[in-house]
Amino acid sequence: MRIALLAAAGLLAAALGSTGAYADDGHAPNPPREKWSFAGMFGRFDQAQLQRGFQVYKEVCANCHAMKLVAFRNLSEEGGPGFSAAQVKALAETYSVKELDDSGSEKERPARPADRFPPPFPNDKAAAAANGGKAPPDFSVLAKARTYERGFPWFVFDALPFTSYSEQGVDYIHALLTGYEDAPKGFEMPGSGYYNKYYPGHVIAMPNPLSEGQITYPKDDKGQPVVPETVEQYSHDVAAFMAWAAEPHMMARKALGLRVILFLIVLAGLLYYVKKQVWKKVGGEVHGLQPELHKTY
């Protein structure tokens, strides 16, 4: 109640022109724009990248970050990382979930593909308590929940075909994961937290989660990793995985969109031709009117 009142008061102040409730952005630089296979009208997820990204999530991020809205089965569904149903079943069985048995007592059982990813902490309070007072954000829609301001005139171009840009959230996540550095001279660090170039306010509670060679990627025929085992690569892969987790039907959406828009363009062309034909007839006496009955002003 008190929190709600305080919040409402702060809001009102914001609404009425006070600068008090307006949080300082810390003037973080804009994240660099990365190349993503899934960007643009013809963008598609790179299955191998999503599988590697899932590996990063599973081995590193999942220790603190839940992904409550994603089910194991999603990993084998169309347009995703493309694991086989058998792989997903085996993966799910390595997790255990709690449920009530017939006597009403809680018991654990191996997870099934239909189950959602079990969170690392039993509830938000436990997650907050274990992480310095604030629960780590859930990964399910995080790639859509983050963005940065593009400003005029860029935001106009972002909406248009050919210059279209909707990967701000993914770019931000990639920038954040690679943005850990020493605080510049004169920057006052509070007692806890880490300096991050791209985090608003620069002080982030999460320690740098990724380091060179931390995750062992699949090897090719010669025994070499298929992609470099670098922070840059890990970060790319996990950001792409998060983009999929936030929008699992993106590929279906873009494919359907192309067909719908082409159909509409053809239909509009035909209708325009019909319209021209119809209007050609206009002239002289127009039939179907009784002007003497129609009131004019």
Partner 1 sequence: MSSAHATSTYVPKSRAAKWFESRLPLVGLVHSSFVAFPVPRNLNYFYTFGAILIAFLGIQIVTGVWLAMHYDPSAANAFESVEHIMRDVNYGWLLRYAHANGASMFFVAVYVHIFRNLYYGSYKAPREVLYLLGVIIYLLMMATAFLGYTLPWGQMSFWGATVITNILAAIPVVGDTIQSLLWGGYSVGNPTVNRFFSLHFLLPWMIAGVVVLHVWALHVTGQNNPAGIPIKSSKDAVPFTPYATIKDVFAVVVFMILFAWFIFYQPNYLGHADNYVPANPSVTPAHIVPEWYFLPFYAILRAVPDKLGGVILMFGAVLILAFAPWLDTSRVRSCNYRPVYRVFFWVFTANAIILGWLGAKPPEGGYVIASQICTAYYFAHFLIVMPLVGLFETPDRLPGSILETVTGPGKQVSGSGMPAGAAAEPAKRG
H/E element holding 142?
helix 142-145
Binding map of partner 1 across residues 37-76, x = CB under 8 A, - = no contact: ----x---------------------------x----x--
Please give the residues from 217 up to 276 whose contact with partner 1 meets the rule CB under 8 A. Answer: 246-249, 252-254, 256-258, 260-261, 264-265, 267-268, 271-272, 274-276
Separation CA 105–CA 103 (nearest Å):
6
Describe the crossing of helices 231-246 and 47-59 by its angle, rounded to 10 degrees.
Answer: 100
Window contacting partner 1 (CB under 8 A); options: 179-187, 205-213, 219-227, 283-291: 283-291
How far apart are CB 287 and partner 1 at their closest, in Å?
7
Indicate which single residue of 102, 182, 221, 285 sits in contact with partner 1 (rule: CB under 8 A): 285
Please give the residues from 4 up to 23 whose contact with partner 1 meets the rule CB under 8 A. Answer: 4-5, 7-8, 10-12, 14-19, 21-23
The answer to whether 56 touches 234, Cβ cutoff 8 Å, is: yes
* Count of residues near partner 1 by CB under 8 A: 79
The answer to whether 182 touches 62, Cβ cutoff 8 Å, is: no
Please give the residues from 117 up to 156 whose contact with partner 1 meets the rule CB under 8 A. Answer: 137, 140-142, 144-147, 152
Nearer CB in complex with partner 1: 215/246 = 246
Please give the residues from 161 up to 200 whose contact with partner 1 meets the rule CB under 8 A. Answer: 161, 164, 166, 168-169, 200
The full DSSP string for 1-65 is: -HHHHHHHHHHHHHHTT-STT----TTPPPPPPPP-TT-STT----HHHHHHHHHHHHHTGGGT-
Structure tokens at 158: 């972002």
